Amino acid sequence: MAAETTSDTPFHASNDATHGADAAVSPVEQTRQLLLGQDYVADLRLATVVHLALRLKRPLFLEGEPGTGKTEIARTLAAALGRPLIRLQCYEGLDLAGAAYEWNYARQMLEIRLAQAPQDGTGHVVSGASGASAPSGDAARDAQAARLFSDRFLIKRALLQAIDPAQPVPPVLLIDELDRADEPFEAFLLEVLSDWQITIPEFGTVKATQPPIVVLTSNRTREIHDAVKRRCLYHWVGFPDAQREAEILARRVPGAPQALAAQVVAFVQHLRSVELYKLPGVAETIEWTRALMELGAIVLDPEVVQNTLGLLLKYQDDIARVHGDEVMRLLQEVRAQTQAQTEVQAQAQTQLPTPAPTQPPGRPAAQTTA
C-alpha cells in the first residue's frame, strides 16, 4: 500500500474501488465496515474512536477485560490497511534496551580491537604483532567514537523500528498489556507518543517522517499514569451484548450449527452474571464453540458443559463455583430463553401478511357486468 501522501485518510487507498458506492455512508460507518471486512465486529463507539485515531493520527489506548478483542484491533488494522505489525509485548522489568534500542557492545569491542591492532600497508591486520597501536589523539578518538555509535552498531527494538524514517510504510505499533510493565517504563513512552521521536544521547534524535498507527492495551491490573492517557484517545472495551457476540461467533466460527451457537452465546451471557474471579471473554466463547464442534455437540447438555468448563474458566475456584447445580441452573435458563426466542420468531412468521395473488400474464381480468 502506498504511503499517506495522497490522502490524510489512512484507508483512502483501500476504498478507492468503492468510493462512489460509499459516498453516502458516514466516515465512522466506513471504518466499521473496514474492520468488518477482517471479521472484526465493532460497535459504533469503538468504530468512532478508531476512526478518530486514524484521522487525527493519535495513539489509541484500549482498556478492558482480557479476551475482549483489544489486541485484535491492531492485527485487524494492520491487515486491512496493508501495514506491517510491530508488537511490543510488555512484561515486568521491561526497560529501554528491550523496548526501544541498545548498542551492540560485543561488536563495538571487536571494532575497537581491530582499530588498535597493527596493520600493514594494505590495511590488513598483521597477525602476531603486538607493537605499536593505531595513531592516538583527540581527532582519532572522536572519529572512532563516531564510528562506534553509528547506525551499524545500533540494535533497533520495537519502538525505534516503528518510527524509523527508513520504513517504506508507517507500521501499526501494538504496545500490548502495558499494565504488566513497571510504572517507570511509562516515562519512556511519553516522547514517542507525543512527538513520534526517540532521543539517543550518543546518536541523536530519530524522528518518524510519518507517524505510525499506535494501539496500546491494558487489562487494568493497575492504573496507567495520566501522562500516558492524555496523549491517547481512550476507550473502554467491555463484553459484547448477546446480539454482537452472536455476530462475532458467526464470523469467527462460520461452521457452527445455529442452535449450538445460540445456546453458547446465551450460556456465556448468563455465566458473566455469576460472581467469578475471571469472567470469560469473547476469545473463550470462540474457543469453546470450536471445542464443542470437535466433540460433535449439536446442542448443550450438562455432561459436555461440565467436561469443558476449563475452556471458559481459567481458575479452579471459578470452575468449582459453577460445577454441578450452577451449570444445571444456567442450562435451564438458556433453554427457556432459546425456547421463548423460537416461539417469538415462529409467531412473527405466522403474522406476516399473505401476498395478494398475481394475475397470470396474457389473461385479461374478469369483467363484472351489471
Q: What is the pLDDT of residues 277-336, one digit of tens each?
A: 999 999 999 999 999 999 999 999 999 999 999 999 999 999 999 999 999 999 999 999
Mean pLDDT within 149-154:
81
- Retrieve residue 102's grid coordinates: 541498545
Q: Which residue in the block uniquely carries the three cell numbers 461440565?
A: 306
The per-residue pLDDT for 250 is 96
The per-residue pLDDT for 108 is 76
pLDDT at 132 over 50: no
- Retrieve residue 31's grid coordinates: 471504518
The per-residue pLDDT for 18 is 39
Give the angle 275-278-280 at the CA atoms, nearest 5°: 95
- Retrieve residue 146's grid coordinates: 563516531
Say if CB 79 and CB 252 are below 8 A apart. Answer: no
The per-residue pLDDT for 352 is 65
pTM for this model (two decimals): 0.80
Nearest to 268, CA basis, from 201, 225, 327:
327
> Right CATH number for 13-90+163-234 from 3.40.50.300, 1.10.150.130, 3.30.70.260, 3.30.70.100?
3.40.50.300
**What is the rounded CA–CA span in Å between residue 361 and residue 92?**
78
**What is the rounded CA–CA span in Å between residue 101 and residue 99?**
7
pLDDT tens profile 31-83: 999 999 999 999 999 999 999 999 999 999 999 999 999 999 999 999 999 99
Which of the pair, 8 or 22, is modelled with greater confidence? Answer: 22
**What is the rounded CA–CA span in Å between residue 167 and residue 192?**
16
The per-residue pLDDT for 75 is 97
Which of the pair, 303 or 13, is modelled with greater confidence? Answer: 303
* Residues forming beta bridges with residue 235, ordered by sequence position: 62
When the pLDDT of each residue in the chain is averaged and rounded to a whole number, the result is: 85
Mean pLDDT within 5-20:
44
What lies within 8 Å, CB to CB, of 172 at 6+ separation is 74, 77, 78, 81, 83, 84, 85, 86, 212, 213, 214, 215
**What is the rounded CA–CA span in Å between residue 73 and residue 87?**
12
- Residue 175: pLDDT band (50, 70, 90) is very high
The per-residue pLDDT for 355 is 61
pLDDT at 369 over 70: no
Q: Which amino acid is at 193?
A: L
What lies within 8 Å, CB to CB, of 305 at 6+ separation is 267, 327, 331
Domain locations along the chain:
13-90+163-234, 101-154, 242-347
Which of the pair, 121 or 256, is modelled with greater confidence? Answer: 256
Which of the pair, 121 or 142, is modelled with greater confidence? Answer: 142
The per-residue pLDDT for 206 is 94
**What is the rounded CA–CA span in Å between residue 161 and residue 158?**
5
